[in-house]
Amino acid sequence: MKTFHIFKAVGILLLPLLLLFTPIIHGQNPGTATPGDSLKPSHADLPLKPDRSVHLQVNEGSWMSVDIHPEGEKIVFDFMGDLYELPLDGGKARQLTRGMGFDAQPRFSPDGKNVVFVSDRSGGENVWILDMETGEATQRTKGNNYRFQSPVYTPDGNYVIAARAGIRGGVHKLRMYHVDGGSGTEFMDTPTTLKTIEPAFGAGDRHIWFSQRTGDWQYNAIFPQYQIARFDRETGQRQMQTSRIGSAFRPTLSSDGKWLVYGTRHQTETGLRIRDLNSGDERWLAFPVQRDDMESRGTRDVLPGMTFTPDNSAVITTWGGRLWKLPVAAGAEPVEITFEIDTQVELGPEVLFKYPIEDSEDFIARQIRDAVPSPDGTKLAFTVLNRLYVMDLPDGSPRRLTSLEMTEAFPAWSPDGSWIAFSTWDHANGGHIYRMRSNGRGSAQQLTREAAIYQYPAWSKTQDRIVATRGVARVYSEYPGPGVPFAAEDLIWIPASGGDATFIAGTEGRGNPHFIVGDDRIYLHHTMKGLISIRYDGTDEREHVKVTGSTPPGSEQPQRASLIQMAPRGDQALAEVGNDIYLVTVPRAGDAQTINVSNPGDAAFPVRKITDIGGQFSAWAWKIRKKPMMPPATRTGMTMATTMETETAMATMMMTKTAMIPATTIPERTTATRKRRMKTVPPTMNPPKSASR
């Protein structure tokens, strides 16, 4: 066995190409053909027209898929979204396609008269067939809602096998299309999570070799990722062919049925293995080659396409920015296939926007968080730039509630509206729960005795306790990422006047504690169970309602609500689903009901969508009225100064969604943050006529 090192360069990307070969970029009329080239541009049907071009003279490229003509005298490969033809001995490449469309992964038909490839020239990825004599390309698959890759002809030339996935997600599945038309059929539709790409044929057309893995991609992937399998077109059976710890991908077979060449990872580098299919013996054919694409989605396969020569004596492949003829004989050295490309690459309009950068002392605060109305609906507490503010509704001026110099978050009004509890964080001293009189008089009072991460404080209806979640302060101080695991491990309560924390239970997926009128149970949102409640001793957990939304592409389960809050009367709830906020009815039907809000009109119980372009930080007002409260909706922006002085710019905003629940059944007013602006939502059937956007 001989292992040899050839090139470690992975390839050359567009930017280094532009720098290395000193291109000339200039404006170009979209209707002007490149001199000396009669090719039909592939952008004829695209909405984005070219208005520039870059002149490239190169002899290197990256991620080039290559195939050889059945007679062996020429090869076809892709380069920067166009297809090229080249003599096997090398030389000047002849451009086959050009334009704004991205053409890739070419494969010859068995008779050499056509080339199948993938292109987005129709506005979405599809399989196309290029007539090598006329230069005309025919779209073989239809629609712009799919992602295609890995096209290849069957040995009889009657069909094309390609991998297809939805444009918004999901795994690729091998499909077979007849060259004369039809919607085709899918191989191996189960299991649904099985990704199948890189189809290949060897001797005969009965078996399709391919690469497979579970899922489209994996975060922090653990090896092995891909393995090679074989599909029997007669029996429909799938049989594994590899089990390498470094994975196995891009199967490439000799037409005489003797050899299998494939890519695999060894430690940190990728190489090519060759297997004798008669004896099963394997050895390295080339190591290392170029980097594979296992950790990503492999949108142009895990390794660029390669092929055997017609006499099966060598493999035509690419690495290090070059094309290679790699003999299968042990110990033989690879031969470079040199190429030269001299072309004009069309570019779309320059994506350049000029944004003014303000350098004044005042600036607009871009996010208003945790906006919570007072129990009587006359005031609003919220945080801006980690400081707590209170304002009169609907058009008061925001004012700092405290003079603390630390992070302030999660304001919570006492039932009588006289106090506001909130969480704090300071890197030196950790976090605590404080309370402050809502009128701003006096000073803030620290209620907790032990530093921790305290979140979501909530007053009991009797106003003598405050419930919150608690986590270890050290975790928050030391964790490097944006998210902090174990930041809310415990549910606790403290006396409203301050004192030791009493442990209730572990959070175990539960959070956002809150209360309803006439009930001393603690209501919580559970990531899986929906809206639940428990006693103060953590027992007697009850499930009340689950809320789901639409089913994301590639998923079998609908999206769960990220937050559910019971209304003060306990008959309705606010649910945040997919960045929108819904008002849902909470039926008492023994078991917890699941309400799907993807189409409110078809929901099992009355549902009202109360946002039109998304919302966050929804909250209930506590006060119960016999008739709905109908003040005008408001939109508030804050201009912040470096001295933390504030101004308020007021504007009215009407609701654009009509209610789907009679107004008499919605006694409480809700507040949501809409696109980083506060929006008070009156529970009316129709928006006030006087409101304007």
Question: Model confidence over 367-392: pLDDT tens digits?
Answer: 899 999 999 999 999 999 999 999 99
Where is the domain boundary, 615, 633, 660?
A: 615
Mean pLDDT over the full length of the chain: 85
Mean pLDDT of 149-161: 97
What is the token pair recorded at 562? 């990220």
The pLDDT score that the predictor gives to residue 620 is: 87
Same domain, residue pair 169 and 307: yes
What is the token pair recorded at 682? 């009156």
Mean pLDDT of 260-272: 97
Q: Which residues contact 597 (CB under 8 A, 6 or more apart)?
A: 547, 548, 549, 575, 577, 582, 584, 603, 607, 609
Same domain, residue pair 233 and 148: yes
Q: Which domain holds residue 653?
A: 356-379+616-693
- Scanning the structure block, which residue is given the tokens 């408001």? 634
Range of 169-183, 483-497, 655-669 with top mean pLDDT: 169-183
Least confident of 134-143, 508-517, 553-562: 553-562
Q: Is 629's pLDDT higher than 50?
A: no
SS (HEC) of 565-597:
EECCCCCEEEEEECCEEEEEECCCCCCCEEEEC
Q: Are 264 and 246 in contact (CB under 8 A)?
A: yes
Q: Catalogue the E-assigned strands of 38-136.
A: 52-58, 66-68, 74-79, 82-87, 91-92, 94-95, 103-108, 114-119, 126-131
Same domain, residue pair 586 and 645: no
Q: Model confidence over 419-452: pLDDT tens digits?
A: 999 999 998 889 999 999 999 999 999 999 999 9
Same domain, residue pair 399 and 440: yes
- Scanning the structure block, which residue is given the tokens 């200039």? 26
Q: Model confidence over 462-479: pLDDT tens digits?
A: 999 999 999 988 877 777
The pLDDT score that the predictor gives to residue 217 is: 86
- 440 burial via Cβ count (<10 Å: 0-12, 13-18, 19+): middle
**What CATH number is associated with residue 171?**
2.120.10.30
Q: Is 53's pLDDT higher than 50?
A: yes
Mean pLDDT of 169-188: 94
What is the token pair recorded at 161? 């096998």
Same domain, residue pair 364 and 411: no
| Pairwise CA distance, residues 243 & 259, whole Å | 18
| Pairwise CA distance, residues 16 & 31, whole Å | 29
| Pairwise CA distance, residues 667 & 520, whole Å | 21
Confidence of residue 363 (pLDDT cuts 50, 70, 90): confident
The DSSP code for 602 is G
Same domain, residue pair 293 and 422: no
Q: Are 610 and 681 in contact (CB under 8 A)?
A: yes
Mean pLDDT of 331-355: 92
What is the model's pTM? 0.57
| Pairwise CA distance, residues 142 & 204, whole Å | 29
Same domain, residue pair 483 and 507: yes
8 occurs within a structural domain: no
209 occurs within a structural domain: yes
Structural domain total, the chain: 3
The pLDDT score that the predictor gives to residue 16 is: 35
Q: Is 339's pLDDT higher than 60?
A: yes
Q: Are 231 and 208 in contact (CB under 8 A)?
A: yes
Same domain, residue pair 545 and 646: no
